[in-house]
């Protein structure tokens, strides 16, 4: 198999080591060796990095590939699946273009959109990152995702279930259709006034059934959970990924710390940041509207909870809820700035959330997310000192090389 040497880079390997000068030898789709200093082993192809910043590829931790220019759930419900497959394919490409070599799926506008795109990407027919495909959100009557009324049986962007048996059927259906990541809507949400974020419409019995069923099929299970009760129920039931998690108390923080080796937490702060700072004002969500919706209060809770989780060593992932009109697919790297500003992360530790933690969420065998011998070769070479200015990663022109699975998707001119 052909070998490639990325020579003389400043290597950020995401193992907590300080960046160092060295070279990386890639054999097939794996990193064969990492050479510290000036030594250069023989290789079939050599790419001169000239001291540029080499880091592992990033993982979007809560992907919605089929969201594009969304301003309302109508944009998810109305389009036909045939068109939406193209939307999801564009979302996948935008992520890879932005240095995201993996996406950990949350939910999609239709059940099989990410499944279809994942299969095409894996077959090498379209460009995209590694994809753990999400399906539809699974919710309960009257909660987030249920947009029907007695007089108007409107179907929302979700599968609705009531009771453990209906939950079992819904999760099995998702597994049959090829979904990797199941997503539950456990808590309420500020976009659904009858079930605000601190409420918990889904019952523990429903969550537990979903977890046991998903795990029986070897799939991961994740939850939209903002409420304290919802997050506690998720931990007790064995949920793998917790999305949002703004509200907390001491007991919940203790539970999450105890479960830190088996859970991942994704704050998805960009949506609220956009709403509260007027970036969504052109679409009717002014800072004043965000105030009525209670968004500044949710941001305060998010800061408290996720700062505490960082201090307790709980694994955070970046990304989440991109694909709205104010947050294009591919802009996910700006979450690194949010992690520093809101949760007190150092640049290096924020980058570890984006790379090592993301790799661990994608593949439980530890084969992804760091630059070490034996790991899968997903890397990005950046023109500039990323640790000095993390915003460089939001500029795709600075990403001079993008490698996924040992193949060069983008190479230096
Ligand atoms: Zn989401």
Say what percent of the chain tops pLDDT 90.
Answer: 97
Handedness of CA 339, 342, 347, 348 (dihedral sign): negative
* C-alpha 173 to ligand 1 mean position (Å): 21
Q: What is the full DSSP assignment across 94-137? A: HHHHTTEEEEEE-B-SSTTHHHHHHHHHHTTSS---EEE-EEEE
* C-alpha 110 to ligand 1 mean position (Å): 14
pLDDT at 413 exceeding the cut of 80: no
Label residue 252 by pLDDT band (50, 70, 90). very high
Q: Which of 328, 167, 204, 186 is nearest to 243 (CA)?
A: 186
Q: How far is Cα of residue 67 from the mean position of the Cα atoms in its chain?
A: 13
Distance CA 101, CA 190 (A): 31
Residues 6 or more apart whose Cβ sits within 8 Å of residue 323: 64, 65, 66, 67, 68, 69, 70, 91, 329
The half-sphere exposure of 236 on its side-chain side, counting CA atoms within 13 A, is 14
* C-alpha 321 to ligand 1 mean position (Å): 4
Distance CA 178, CA 286 (A): 39
pLDDT at 156 exceeding the cut of 90: no
Answer yes or no: are the C-beta atoms of 246 and 266 closer than 8 Å: no
Residue whose entry in the numeric block shows the structure tokens 């699946």:
81
Answer yes or no: are the C-beta atoms of 181 and 221 closer than 8 Å: yes
* C-alpha 312 to ligand 1 mean position (Å): 25
Task: Tell me the domain boundaries of the chain.
Answer: 3-57+370-410, 58-332
**What's the pLDDT score for residue 3?**
96
Handedness of CA 256, 203, 169, 81 (dihedral sign): negative
Say what percent of the chain tops pLDDT 70.
Answer: 100
C-alpha triplet 274, 277, 281: angle, nearest 5°: 75
Mean pLDDT is highest, among 110-124, 139-153, 188-202, for: 110-124
pLDDT in tens, 176-198: 999 999 999 999 999 898 999 99
pLDDT in tens, 399-412: 999 999 999 999 98
pLDDT at 291 exceeding the cut of 80: yes
Q: What is the full DSSP assignment across 269-336? A: THHHHHHHTTTTGGGT--HHHHHHTTHHHHHHHHHHHHHHHHHTT--B----S--BTTB-TT-TTHHH
**What's the pLDDT score for residue 180?**
98
* C-alpha 40 to ligand 1 mean position (Å): 45
Helix axis angle for 250-258 and 228-237, nearest 10°, is 30
Residues 6 or more apart whose Cβ sits within 8 Å of residue 401: 6, 47, 49, 379, 380, 381, 408, 410, 411, 412
* C-alpha 368 to ligand 1 mean position (Å): 24
Overall average pLDDT of the 346-372 stretch: 97
pLDDT at 281 exceeding the cut of 80: yes
Overall average pLDDT of the 126-152 stretch: 96
Label residue 1 by pLDDT band (50, 70, 90). confident
pTM of the model: 0.97
And the tokens for 215? Answer: 């795990």
Gap between the terminal Cα atoms of the chain: 24
* C-alpha 379 to ligand 1 mean position (Å): 26
Q: What is the dihedral of CA 411, 42, 36, 347, to 10 degrees?
A: 10
Distance CA 37, CA 30 (A): 21
pLDDT at 292 exceeding the cut of 80: yes
* C-alpha 169 to ligand 1 mean position (Å): 23
C-alpha triplet 93, 94, 98: angle, nearest 5°: 115
Q: Which of 397, 371, 390, 395 is nearest to 22 (CA)?
A: 371
φ, ψ for residue 410, nearest 5 deg: -140, 135
Q: Which of 367, 338, 365 is nearest to 353 (CA)?
A: 338
Other residues' Cβ atoms within 10 Å of the Cβ of residue 229 = 17
pLDDT in tens, 49-101: 999 999 999 999 999 999 999 999 999 999 999 999 999 999 999 999 999 99
Q: What is the CATH number of domain 3-57+370-410?
A: 2.30.40.10
* C-alpha 66 to ligand 1 mean position (Å): 11
R_g of the chain computed on alpha carbons: 21
* C-alpha 251 to ligand 1 mean position (Å): 26
The CATH class that applies to domain 58-332 reads alpha beta
């Amino acid at each position: 198999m052909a070998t490639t040497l990325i020579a003389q880079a400043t290597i950020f390997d995401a193992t907590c080591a300080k960046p160092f000068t060295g070279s990386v030898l890639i054999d097939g789709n794996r990193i064969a060796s990492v050479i510290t200093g000036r030594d250069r082993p023989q290789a079939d192809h050599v790419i001169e990095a000239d001291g540029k910043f080499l880091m592992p590829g990033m993982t979007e931790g809560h992907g919605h590939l089929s969201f594009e220019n969304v301003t309302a759930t109508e944009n998810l419900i109305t389009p036909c699946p045939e068109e939406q497959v193209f939307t999801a394919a564009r979302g996948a490409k935008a992520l890879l273009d932005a240095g995201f070599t993996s996406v950990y799926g949350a939910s999609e506008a239709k059940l099989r959109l990410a499944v279809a795109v994942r299969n095409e990407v894996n077959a090498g027919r379209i460009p995209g990152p590694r994809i753990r495909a999400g399906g539809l959100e699974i919710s309960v009557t009257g909660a987030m995702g249920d947009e029907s009324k007695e007089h108007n049986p409107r179907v929302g962007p979700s599968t609705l279930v009531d009771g453990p048996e209906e939950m079992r059927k819904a999760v099995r259906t998702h597994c049959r259709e090829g979904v990797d990541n199941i997503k539950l809507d456990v808590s309420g949400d500020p976009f659904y006034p009858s079930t605000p974020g601190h409420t918990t419409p889904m019952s523990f019995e429903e969550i537990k059934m979903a977890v046991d069923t998903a795990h029986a099929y070897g799939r991961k299970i994740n939850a939209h959970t903002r409420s304290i009760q919802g997050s506690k129920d998720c931990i007790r039931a064995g949920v793998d990924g917790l999305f949002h998690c703004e509200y907390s108390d001491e007991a919940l923080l203790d539970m999450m710390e105890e479960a830190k080796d088996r859970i991942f937490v994704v704050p998805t702060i960009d949506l609220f940041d956009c709403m509260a700072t007027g970036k969504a004002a052109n679409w009717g969500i002014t800072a004043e509207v965000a105030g009525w919706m209670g968004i500044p209060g949710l941001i305060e809770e998010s800061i408290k909870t996720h700062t505490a989780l960082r201090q307790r060593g709980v694994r955070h992932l970046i990304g989440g809820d991109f694909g709205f009109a104010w947050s294009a697919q591919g802009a996910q790297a700006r979450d690194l700035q949010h992690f520093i500003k809101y949760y007190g992360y150092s640049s290096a530790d924020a980058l570890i959330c984006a790379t090592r933690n993301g790799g661990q969420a994608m593949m439980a065998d530890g084969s992804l997310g760091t630059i070490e011998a034996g790991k899968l070769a997903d890397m990005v070479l950046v023109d500039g000192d990323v640790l000095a200015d993390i915003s460089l990663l939001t500029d795709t022109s600075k990403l001079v090389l993008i490698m996924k699975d040992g193949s060069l998707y983008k190479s230096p001119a």
